[in-house]
Amino acid sequence: MGIVNKIFILYHSLMIFANDKKSIRALGQYRDNMSFNALSRVVKSEDPEIRILAMESLSRLGLKATIPLFVTSLKDPNRLVSIAASNILIRTGKDVVPVLIEDLKHEEFEQRAQIIEILGKIGETSAIPAITPHIKEDEAVVRLATALALARIGDKGSISLILQGIKENKIYFSFTPSGLEDDLKSMDLYKKLFAAYPLAMSNHKEAKKTLLKLLDTNYGWTRCFIIRMFADIGVPEDIERISSMIQDEDIWVRRAAVEVLGEIGTSAVIPVLIKASNDNDSWVGASATTAIDKIKAKGNSGQRTEDSGQKTNEDQR
């Protein structure tokens, strides 16, 4: 049977049986309009599992036309679907950047934070002008995502902007290494916090100790901010401390903890994440499940899944 006939049969199978998982998986092998049209229809299924499966098959087609579908799925009411869409966009890489930048102009603050986080993980410097203004937003979660994204991209001007802080809150920071050392000893929580991050990025031991101590602060957003820093600076010795934050009373802190454990965790932390998967916050539970999958996927390679996934995707193009 020729490839055209196979695609035709799979296409009509999905038109009749929208939840045919075998057909959904198989169509991901064929880069053509018929496969795209069938999977684009199925990605709107009422079944979250089917939506995720359809997105994964669409991602294998390697077509730019699939990108808007993944961006739309970021707003899916099912957290697992949203996470899957986010991971696919990160793997896809720089091709999604212009679409995300345009979408960033129109979304509510939670979606803006999510898009900024994705842009930071992709690491494309062309996104910096679009991301930078959000460092002054009213919503703390957007400022947090912006600071981390700019730090991930690693632009020197962006790091300076982070250190300058948000003037509306009268938070000011130093710009020189010696100034950072002084700020690290400051009694001002915010000076200490924002000085510790860039210093810890350069393997400054005291800065890392400072961040770990600041996890005891009473401010939930501060704990959340610090935990997310450990996605960049965390080592195996930090896993136990981050794991303890899964018990935090603040849901944003718990969400950050399980997501970061997916980045830096090993198989030893899976029992903790299994417990977290039953959290009364559905986002925490879904993120814990995703973290478990990421740790299992890493295996013994030591690579983060989005990094290896992006490489695979580029190799296939």
Domain CATH for 276? 1.25.10.10
Domain for residue 234, yes or no? yes
Structural domains counted in the chain = 1
pLDDT on residue 134: 87
Q: Can you give the pLDDT at residue 51? A: 87
Q: Does residue 264 sit within a domain?
A: yes
Distance of CA 274 to the CA centre of its chain: 20
- At residue 161, the pLDDT reads 54
Is 28 within a domain? no
Decide if 258 is inside a domain: yes
Tell me which residue range forms the domain holding 305.
215-310
What is the rounded distance in angstroms from the CA atom of residue 54 to the CA atom of residue 240?
Answer: 36
Structure tokens at 179: 């100034």
**174 is a domain residue:** no
Q: Is residue 208 part of a domain?
A: no
Below-50 pLDDT ranges, the chain: 1-12, 14-17, 165-175, 300-317
What is the structure's pLDDT at 294?
87
- Tokens matching residue 118: 């994705």
Encode 126-148 in three state secondary structure: HHHHHHHHHHHCCCHHHHHHHHH
What pLDDT is stored for residue 109 in this prediction?
Answer: 84
Q: Which residue has the tokens 């300076």?
A: 160
Residue 119 belongs to a domain = no
Exposure letters 40-54 (e unless 16+ CB within 10 A, then b): eebbebeebebbbbb
Model-wide pTM > 0.85: no
Look at residue 92 and tell me if it is in a domain: no
What is the rounded CA–CA span in Å between residue 209 and residue 251?
24
How high is the pLDDT of residue 242?
Answer: 94
- pLDDT value of position 158: 52
Query: How distant, in Å, are the alpha carbons of 47, 123, 269 from that of 164?
Result: 46, 22, 36
